[in-house]
Structure 1
Amino acid sequence: MDQCRCGELATLTDGKPGVIRKGYLTHDSGQLHYRCCGDESLPLLILLHQTPSSSAMYLRLMPLLAPHFFVLAVDTPGFGNSDPLPADVSIATFAEVIFKAVSRTFDRPVLVFGHHTGAAIAVQLAFDQPEFVRALALSGPTLLTEAQKEALPSAAQAVSLDEKGSHWQEMWQRLRAKDPEADLALTLRETLLAFTCGDYYEASYRAVAEQDVARQMATIQCPTLVFAGGRDLLRSAVVPSVRLLPQGREAALPEEAGTYVCDRQPDAVADLLRQFFLEIVEAG
C-alpha cells in the first residue's frame, strides 16, 4: 500500500462509509489528487469530473454510493489539486495517467463513471484498457457534431486579468450561464477552479474535440450506460452513443437536470449508477 494512502484510508473501515477522505496517488510525472469513501474491499468505482471542475463536484454523490462501492473520485491532471502534465494535453494522456496511478495502487478491474469531459476520459480508458474497465456509465457523452467540435474550445478561452478585477466578473458570468439556478456557492467553486486550472480549461476542451470518440465507442465491449439531463447540452448525443456502443443502453435523468446534475440531483444519478453497477457486479 502506498505510504500516501495509509492515513487517508485507515478510518474507512470504522462503520462510516460516507466519510470522505483525501490523498494522492503517484504516477510517472507527478501526483494525482483524489477523494474517496466506502470500504476498500468493495468493488472499485472511479468518478471522473467535467471541465473546469474537480472531484469536489462529487461530494454529494459519493456518500450515496459508498454503501455498495469503494468510491474513488480523482482530479484530472492539471485540475483541482492534481499536478499538470509535462507534455501536451490530450484525452489519451489524461486516461493513461489515471490508469497508471490507479492500477499501481489498486490491482483490480474497475467500474467507471464520467460526466462530460470525464465521460470522454472514461471512453478512452475503456478503449485503451479493456481488461481494466468492467463497465462504463457516461453522463453527457461527448459524441459531438462537427459544429460542436469547432465551437467547444472557444467556450473556454482564457480570460485576461486586469487591475479592476473584471476577469472575475467575466468568468463568473460564463460559469453562471451554465445553470443560472444553481446555488451561488456552486458557481463560486467552479469559478475558482476555472482560474486554478489556467490554460487547461481551454486545452481540455480542445482535447475533447480532437478525440475520435465515435471510433472508440464502436469497439468498446463492456456494458455501458448512457444518459443526460433534460437541460444538458449533450443530451442529443445519448441515442447516437447507445447505437454505436456494442453493449450500450440508455437511461433517463430528470428533465430539469443540466450540467451540474451530480451536485444538484445526486440522488437521481446515484439511483442509476447503483442499479447498473450492482447488476454488473452480481453478474460476475
Structure 2
Amino acid sequence: MGERIRRRYVDGRYGQVHLRENTPVAGVPLICLHATAYASRSFGALLAALDGTRHVIAIDTPGYGESDAPPMPIGIAAYAAAIAEVLPERFDLFGYHTGVSIAAEIAIAEPERVGRLTMMGVPYFQAIDFAGWRARLAARHELRETLAQFEERWDFLVMGRPEGLPLHRGFENFVDELKAWPNGWWAHAALFDHDLTARLPLIPVPVTVLNPPGHLADPSRVAAALIPDATVVELPELSGAVLDRHADVLARLVVATEEVVA
C-alpha cells in the first residue's frame, strides 16, 4: 500500500471509526466507501496511486473492518449519518456497491458539503433479480463451532477470486468478512431495504458513474438514468479486480472529476 498510507481512528456515534488515508494535500479530499462485507483496504491501491496528488480517505463502515459496530442492525441513512459526522467540512465521495447507497444518502442529506459523487458498481438490483440477490447477499449467519461455516466464503473470496487479484488480497478480503461475522449481513440487509428507485432522483450533486464490465454494468446504466445530473463513463477495457488492477485508471478519472477549490 505504500509507507505513507496511515491508519487512524476517530470517535463516532457507535464507538470508533477506522480509516486509511494517504498524504494530505491541498484541495477537497476524496472519501471512499467500500462494498459489504469488505473494508477500507479495498481502496489501498487507489490511495497509493493518488498519494501526493489527492488526499484520499477510505472509511471502514461501522461494523466492518476495524470500525466498531452499532448495537443492532441499522438502515443506510443511519450508516450515512454515522460516517458523515466524522468527515471534513467539504469532500467528494466515491462509493462502491453498498458504498454507493451510503454515499447517495450523504449527498442527499448534506449537499452543501459534497462537491461530486463518483459511483462504481451501482447496486440497482431492481434491474435484475432483486429477490434472488437479496436471498443470496442478505442471508443471516450464526456463529457455530465448525470451520465448515466459512468454506463457501473461502471458495468465493480466495479460490474464486477475480482475475488479477493476488492471493494475499483474496485472503485479506476473507479476513475482513470474518471480522464482521456473523453480522456481516447487516449492511446488505440495509442495502436491499434502501429504495434506490426513490432516492436516486433526489441526489442534488453531479454524479459520475464509472462502469466496468460485470453483473452490475446494466443496472448501473439504468440507475444513472434516474439521477438528475449523471454522466456514465463506460470502461469496457477494465476487467477482474478493478480496484486493485486498475487503480491508475481510476486515479486519473477521480482527479479529472474533482471539485476545484477557489
Fold match by TM threshold 0.5: yes
Q: CA RMSD in A?
A: 2.2
1:86 aligns to 2:86 (yes or no): no
Give the structure-2-normalised TM-score. Answer: 0.90
Which residue is 2:207 aligned to?
A: 224
Which residue is 1:25 aligned to?
A: 10
Once residues 161 and 97 of structure 2 are traced to their aligned partners in structure 1, the CA distance between those partners, rounded to angstroms, is: 13
Any conservation in 1 of the 2:238–2:246 contact (CA below 8 Å)?
A: no
The 3-state SS of whatever aligns with 1:257 is coil
Give the structure-1-normalised TM-score. Answer: 0.83
Overall identity of the aligned pairs, in %: 25
Amino acid at match of 2:113: F
Q: Choose from 93, 107, 114 the match for 1:112.
A: 93
1:185-264 matched pairs, under 5 angstroms = 185-230=168-213, 232-258=214-240, 260-264=241-245
Aligned residues: 258
Check 1:148–1:132 CA distance in 2 against 1; reply closer, same or farther (3 A cut). Answer: farther
The 3-state SS of whatever aligns with 1:33 is strand
Once residues 218 and 161 of structure 2 are traced to their aligned partners in structure 1, the CA distance between those partners, rounded to angstroms, is: 17
Once residues 18 and 219 of structure 1 are traced to their aligned partners in structure 2, the CA distance between those partners, rounded to angstroms, is: 40
Q: Displacement, 1:200?
A: 3.3
1:89-168 matched pairs, under 5 angstroms = 89-102=74-87, 106=88, 108-145=89-126, 148-156=129-137, 157=139, 158=141, 161-163=144-146, 165-168=147-150
Gap regions ≥5 residues in structure 1: 1-16
Once residues 201 and 178 of structure 1 are traced to their aligned partners in structure 2, the CA distance between those partners, rounded to angstroms, is: 19
The 3-state SS of whatever aligns with 1:199 is coil
The 3-state SS of whatever aligns with 1:222 is coil
Check 1:117–1:272 CA distance in 2 against 1; reply closer, same or farther (3 A cut). Answer: same
Q: Displacement, 1:254?
A: 4.1
The 3-state SS of whatever aligns with 1:101 is coil
Q: Displacement, 1:146?
A: 6.5
Amino acid at match of 2:105: Q
Residue deviations 1:22-54 (CA, integer Å, cap 9, x gap): 111112221110011122543211010111111
The 3-state SS of whatever aligns with 1:236 is helix
Q: Displacement, 1:147?
A: 5.2
Any conservation in 2 of the 1:227–1:235 contact (CA below 8 Å)?
A: no
Which residue is 2:30 aligned to?
A: 45
Amino acid at match of 1:139: M
Once residues 152 and 223 of structure 2 are traced to their aligned partners in structure 1, the CA distance between those partners, rounded to angstroms, is: 34
Gap regions ≥5 residues in structure 2: none
Which residue is 1:267 aligned to?
A: 248
Once residues 146 and 188 of structure 1 are traced to their aligned partners in structure 2, the CA distance between those partners, rounded to angstroms, is: 31
Amino acid at match of 2:11: T
Structure scoring higher RCO (CA < 8 A, sep ≥ 6) equals 2
Any conservation in 1 of the 2:118–2:208 contact (CA below 8 Å)?
A: yes
Any conservation in 2 of the 1:76–1:94 contact (CA below 8 Å)?
A: yes
Once residues 18 and 42 of structure 1 are traced to their aligned partners in structure 2, the CA distance between those partners, rounded to angstroms, is: 22
The 3-state SS of whatever aligns with 1:94 is helix
Amino acid at match of 1:215: A
Q: Displacement, 1:62?
A: 0.6
Q: Displacement, 1:264?
A: 2.0
Once residues 190 and 127 of structure 2 are traced to their aligned partners in structure 1, the CA distance between those partners, rounded to angstroms, is: 14
Once residues 76 and 161 of structure 2 are traced to their aligned partners in structure 1, the CA distance between those partners, rounded to angstroms, is: 23
